[in-house]
Amino acid sequence: MIAEIGQYVLIAALVLAAVQAIVPLWGAARGDAGLMMVGDRTAIAQAAALLIAFAALTHGFVTSDFSLSVVFQNSHSLKPMLYKVSGVWGNHEGSMLLWVLVLALFSAAVAVYGRNLPPTLKARVLSIQAMIGFAFLAFIIFTSNPFARLSPAPLDGTGLNPLLQDPGLAFHPPLLYLGYVGFSMAFSFAIAALIEGRVDAAWGRWVRPWTLAAWTFLTGGIALGSWWAYYELGWGGWWFWDPVENASFMPWLFGTALLHSSIVVEKRDALKSWTILLAILTFSMSLLGTFLVRSGVLTSVHAFATDPERGVFILAILAIAIGGALTLFAVRAPGMKGGGLFAPASREGALIANNMLLTLAAATVLLGTLYPLILEALSGGETRVSVGPPFFNATFGPIMVPLVLLMAIGPLMAWKRGNLRTASRKIIPAAIAALLAIGVTFLAVPDGPGLAPFAMGLAAWLAAGTIAEWGGRIKLFSSPPSVSWRRLSGQPRSASGMSLAHLGLAIMIVGITGSSAWRTELVTTLSPGETVEGAGYAVTLESVTEGRGPNYSFERATLRIEEDGELVTTMHTERRFFPIANQTTTEAGIRTTLLSDLYGVIGERGRTPETADAWTVRFFVNPLVPWIWLGALVMVFGGFLSLSDRRHRVGAPRRAANTAPPANPPTQPLPAPAE
Amino acid sequence: MRQITAALAITLMTFLASAAPSLAVEPDEVLADPVLENRAREISTELRCVVCQNQSIDDSDADIARDMRLLVRERLVAGDNDEEVVNYIVARYGDFVLLRPPFQPNTLALWLAPPIMAVVIATLSVLFYQTYQRRRLAGTGPDPLSPSDRAELDALVERIARTSPPNPSNMQRSRFRAEIEAGLKPPEPDSEDAPTDGGEQTDDPQRA
Amino acid sequence: MRRLVVILPVAIFAALLGVMGALLTDGERNNDPSRLPSPLVGKPAPAISLPAVADNIPGGFSTEDLKGQVTIVNVFASWCIPCLAEHPLITQLAADGARVYGINHRDKSADAVTWLRRHGNPYKAIGFDADARASLEWGVTGVPETFIIDANGTIAYKHAGPITPEVLKQKILPKLREIEGG
């Protein structure tokens, strides 16, 4: 019954999307305010409808309604409640529903919070959003219906992939989708601007909060997924350049570029066509990712359905959405002109260089990800190559180096024309910090990989440069503390957010370097009571107990870790067997301090009678690994801080009009044509 | 027994200091010679597990991954150098098994693309920048504003000029318009001095 | 020039669409996206030498034994379900006169004997490859896999996955006719 309600509201949402796609667009073309308002109402109604549909599906999972095909295939009565809920989006149909729900929620947010947008722009944005929504709702209803019934209803389900039964992974898709799908807003704004034939500073200001929100969520989502992989998959690895990881990384790279170039549009009314293109490309990468995961072209741990029929449907959506957007761009973009002059060495120049590097990085990752597919298609299936981590590490790293170097310099440059002499003076703290870091690292770990000191130097450069720039802004040490304090509290939040985000990256670089360069590992077989020494620690397998969880059986090992005879920690690691899925997972025992992770995993029991009492034990020391997630957290915090800047809600640039007398208040928004 | 285990572990640890950790290598696969074992580990990280999704044989639990790890060690013990070991496996499984795509005719595009793209992007940026500068400096070129914008600007200028005290004049109006059109916007309040968005920095030497 | 540059994104995207479309509509690929073309096709079969599965099962062979006549070598295991599915077709091939050898992959001798007794043994000889080392030599990625070796001991064809009637009709039989005709 509830599922049928879900089915009906789904169809209702489809109809609403159709209305929203056509009517406001038509209204904007005719300047009819009434027709344009329809967009607002349908957006809210659509969000409500999809919330109901999502609730209906959740109800099906929570009550273990196995007459629903998707519940049968992805759930089981013994599954813990948290994972019954997260199982809603742990499958193709449910996650698609989440996808369109997030899309609708963003549209509704524009309808409610976008009061300061010109009605025509808002109407067009909502229409484009609805077009995307319509396409994917059709996809869901016709090829991936979450409310499809099974008759007769089975008694129990086939369970959820044991790897997915984890709290970290429960939250990873929603966060990721808020980012991924959130970039649809920038896309819609871009298309709306192309239709209007106008991009101006105001547009840059309006699009920024939406881009920032999506970026922040995506950063969090990717970091969460990476952290989950680290502690769950038992390899201690956290990034594998897996095609689907890349599919979420590419929107992030383009999205970061978009965030920065929209600043130039907003401040200097320049880089307009480029920013529009970026907005289109960012969301195109999201769509491409959706396609790659669900079409079956790739085999990946993340891949959902391998159904070519669905694949062709999504490909058609891509063709129309991306192809249409890029064609519109090709036609309309040359007509966009304007903008202020600037010298190559200026804030604009630095942001352009930032964009060039990020675009290059994204294009490289895209090429590496798609190359095997391209080669396979061109050779008719005869040639298959792999493009794995060695390729990406060799190409991505060198691109990031100049980018990070630039990140400390860019904020020091003024708009229009940067004063190089002043900037070079202000960058000295960063240079000193970098040299110090290189030296200290080299002295502390002389026999580590040669590049590690330089990576630390890079991180120090960025951190010191960012802090020094922030210090300069609040006139730290160059003015009395009260002045600095006043300036600090007066800092616009977006500026502080920027500094935090850049600092977060520096922290991440430290973590990445530490974990890649100085990791140590111990692999051995131990019987209970045996101790092994290595990596500076003494590892004892105290005991191995067996037991049962809600839907699995386990072997649980207790490891005692000592350093210099003193107990450091006792950690537990488990090997779990899920009988329904016939799969084994490992839960690592991790002890995290600020400086490093101690990571213990129990492996297989000995297979021969002589070794039946011994287990494989792996023990890793991962220095600085927690800094990776810490850095990501700081970046996300910076993003939210920036988002909370009050000026985003005003939504319009200040018009100076200094030559015009003060009768006009400076914050007068640009009058919209429809007024 | 304990001492042997300890010695083995220490040796492993010392020589694996910079290699990626592995969940998959079993203690019984490890070679006695640490130098060979280290080579085996390094080679293994570059070989793909052909039945897994995007894992190296060093990381994978699969049977065939273990078989390949043993094969790598067998060839190393037999005296092959690193290249020969890899070629042995490639001869049987194809280029697919290499996680680092080889540098050969059908992957030239892949390896050369990043530097070429870098050059193309840089060149295009420079060219576009120069055209942009030239056009803006010359003041010629097509009207930077679209017709609707042009009309809007005119209306705005009219409104401002009309409401400004005390002597609205045509001269004021046209001067204002000319300033805007020449790209010399009136000084923005969010530049130079006040700490604002994006940390716009004052570069005024006097204010240092 | 600007016109040219703004057309670039659409053009690249169109090309990408073509690639994806081609991959999606490739019927063979859809059935098994992980199939791997073998570099050994057209090369002499690598040298292996395998013992028999058990005393009462004819078998044990080396690569040399494969020469002189066209041979089908089928890699199978008793624990492998698709192997069971294709077994009738293998039996059919043998009954029609083809010389079919088998490689018993990563199996236990007793299990293999039981399996063969239950489902029939169409193999002229079976090599026992308990540690899968010989399979590795031949670039086998899983079971079942089937090779066609010509009279000179060259690998003429390799099929990964079970033999279905379509595969038999469209790939195996034509290939057999081709090499035997030559």
- DSSP letter, residue B16: T
C61 and C21, same domain (yes or no): no
Cβ within 8 Å, pair B198-A411: yes
- DSSP letter, residue C65: G
C45 and C27, same domain (yes or no): no
C9 and C88, same domain (yes or no): no
Q: What is the dihedral of CA A398, A403, A406, A408, to 10 degrees?
A: -110
Closest chain A residue to B50, measured at CA: A386
Q: Which of A284, A297, A329 sits opposite C23 (nearest CB)?
A: A297
Q: Which of C1, C39, C142 sits opposite B91 (nearest CB)?
A: C39
- Show the domain range for C150: 38-181
**Residue B185 pLDDT:** 47
Is any Cβ of chain B less than 8 angstroms from the Cβ of A644?
A: no
pLDDT digits over B134-177, tens only?
A: 776 776 555 667 777 878 887 887 787 777 665 545 556 666 67
Q: Which of A285, A206, A209, A290 is nearest to A252 (CA)?
A: A285
Confidence of residue C171 (pLDDT cuts 50, 70, 90): confident
Q: For residue C32, which residues of chain A lie inside 8 Å, CB to CB?
A: none
Percentage of chain B with pLDDT > 70?
62
Chain B nearest CA to C95, separation (Å): 31
Cβ under 8 Å to B: A residues 507-536: 517-526, 530-535
C171 and C86, same domain (yes or no): yes
Task: State the ipTM, two decimals.
Answer: 0.87
The model carries a pTM of 0.86
Query: Average pLDDT of chain C?
Result: 89
**Residue B188 pLDDT:** 46
C24 and C86, same domain (yes or no): no
pLDDT digits over C75-87, tens only?
A: 999 999 999 999 9
Instruction: Yes or no: say if A657 and A671 are a contact pair by the CB < 8 Å rule.
Output: no
Cross-strand pairs, C74: C102, C146
Chain A nearest CA to C120, separation (Å): 30
On whether the A1-165 domain is CATH 3.40.50, my answer is no
Is any Cβ of chain A less than 8 angstroms from the Cβ of C30?
A: yes
SS3 C60: coil
C102 and C19, same domain (yes or no): no
Cα dihedral sign for A640, A645, A651, A656?
negative
Q: Which of A177, A208, A216 is nearest to A190 (CA)?
A: A208
Cβ contacts of A575 within 8 Å, gap of 6 or more: A554, A555, A557, A584, A585, A586, A587, A602, A603, A604
C47 and C80, same domain (yes or no): yes
Using a 10 angstrom Cβ sphere, with 0-12 exposed, 13-18 middle and 19 or more buried, the burial of residue A346 is: buried
Rounded Cα distance between C18 and A374, Å, is 10
CATH number at residue C130: 3.40.30.10
Pairing of strands C99-105, C71-76: parallel
Chain C nearest CA to A248, separation (Å): 18
Question: What are the backbone dihedrals phi and psi of residue A515, each rounded to the nearest 5 degrees, phi first?
Answer: -75, -30
Is any Cβ of chain C less than 8 angstroms from the Cβ of B102?
A: no
Instruction: Yes or no: say if A583 and A162 are a contact pair by the CB < 8 Å rule.
Output: yes
Return per-residue pLDDT of chain B as tens, 208 residues.
454 444 444 434 433 433 445 667 887 888 888 889 989 999 999 999 988 878 889 888 888 899 999 999 999 999 999 999 999 999 999 999 999 999 999 999 999 999 999 999 999 888 888 887 777 677 655 566 777 787 888 788 778 777 766 554 555 666 667 666 666 544 444 433 333 334 344 333 333 3
Q: Which of B51, B71, B90 sits opposite C141 (nearest CB)?
A: B51
Q: Which of C36, C39, C137 sits opposite B50 (nearest CB)?
A: C36
Cβ within 8 Å, pair B64-C142: yes
C76 and C130, same domain (yes or no): yes
C86 and C12, same domain (yes or no): no
Total number of domains constituting chain C: 2
Q: For residue A673, which residues of chain B lie inside 8 Å, CB to CB?
A: 148, 152
User: Please, what are the averages of pLDDT over each run of 10 residues along chain A (675 residues)?
Assistant: 92 96 93 90 96 95 91 86 88 94 96 88 95 96 92 81 78 92 95 90 87 96 91 80 92 96 86 92 95 78 65 94 95 79 86 94 96 90 89 94 94 86 89 94 87 94 94 82 80 90 96 90 88 87 89 90 88 88 83 88 83 87 92 96 78 40 41 38
Chain B nearest CA to C147, separation (Å): 14
Q: Which of C5, C38, C133 sits opposite B124 (nearest CB)?
A: C5
Q: Which residue has the tokens 């400390």?
A: A408
Q: Which of B140, B204, B43, C55 is nearest to A418 (CA)?
A: B204
Q: Provide the residue ranges of all domains of chain A, joining segments of one domain with +.
A: 1-165, 192-311+321-335+348-410, 520-623
Chain C nearest CA to A622, separation (Å): 34
Q: Which of B43, C106, C53, B197 is nearest to A268 (CA)?
A: B197
CB pairs under 8 A between B and C: 44
Cβ under 8 Å to C: A residues 289-318: 291, 295-299, 306, 308, 311-312, 315, 318
Q: Which of B51, B63, B92 sits opposite C139 (nearest CB)?
A: B92
SS3 A584: strand
Chain B nearest CA to C138, separation (Å): 6
Cβ within 8 Å, pair B203-A414: yes
Chain C nearest CA to A330, separation (Å): 5
Is any Cβ of chain C less than 8 angstroms from the Cβ of B124?
A: yes
C147 and C101, same domain (yes or no): yes
Q: Which of B2, B96, B160 sits opposite A657 (nearest CB)?
A: B160
